[in-house]
Amino acid sequence: MEKELSYQQIKEIKEAYLKDNLSVENQIIKLIVAGYDEKTAEELINKVIREYKRELLEAAQEKSEDNENQEITGVIIMVAAILGPVLSIKGYEWYILASIIAGAAGYFNLKNEPIAGVVRSIVLVVLFPLAFELYINTRSSYYVVELLIPFFICFLIAYLFQLLISKIFYPEEI
């Protein structure tokens, strides 16, 4: 009498659980037919279900943490891009610092494609001052909401760079 389930049996139980059509009684009967006694079969099935629930919970928590990290790093990238032009900082030192900050945030923003995240963030920081100057060039004042227009234009261009870099460096993930 075996004390472990085969990979195929575990996979079958997990798939049935995931599809929400797991019948413990049917699985126990299948295991009894395969040579397990009833108590062992029930224990093994319950063990697989507990472990699978734990795996699903951990995956959901990890995804939630990744989403939180992406929100935080997205805000950091946006602030690094917008702060210089809005505060009329003209020195190249600021843009080097902002590029470093945005690049680091971009690295953590796209953990599965870090090079693309860094490039996207740096392109956004470099392009936004140019787009901002072109958009606000002839005006003496502007509404804060109007910052979104050049920002979205730059974000679109930076996103296209991200897709291009992703296609080059990470072709299997797209």
Q: In sequence order, which ranges of 6-113 are alpha helices (DSSP H)? A: 7-18, 24-33, 38-86, 92-109
Determine the Cα–Cα distance for residues 124 and 103; give it in Å rounded to an integer: 10
Contact between residue 114 and residue 107 where contact means Cβ atoms under 8 Å apart: yes
Report how far apart the first and last C-alpha atoms of the chain are (Å, whole number): 46
Determine the Cα–Cα distance for residues 92 and 133; give it in Å rounded to an integer: 15
Whether the predicted model's global pTM rises above the 0.75 cut = no
Closest-CA residue to 86 (of 124, 155, 126, 133): 133
- Looking at residue 58, its pLDDT comes to 93
Determine the Cα–Cα distance for residues 161 and 165; give it in Å rounded to an integer: 6
Contact between residue 82 and residue 151 where contact means Cβ atoms under 8 Å apart: yes
- Looking at residue 173, its pLDDT comes to 60
- Looking at residue 125, its pLDDT comes to 94
Per-residue pLDDT tens digits of the chain, which is 174 residues long: 457 888 888 888 888 877 777 777 778 888 888 888 888 888 888 888 899 889 989 999 988 888 898 899 999 999 999 998 888 888 889 999 999 999 999 999 988 889 999 999 999 999 999 988 888 877 777 777 887 888 899 999 999 999 999 899 888 764
- Looking at residue 29, its pLDDT comes to 81
Determine the Cα–Cα distance for residues 99 and 81; give it in Å rounded to an integer: 8
- Looking at residue 110, its pLDDT comes to 87
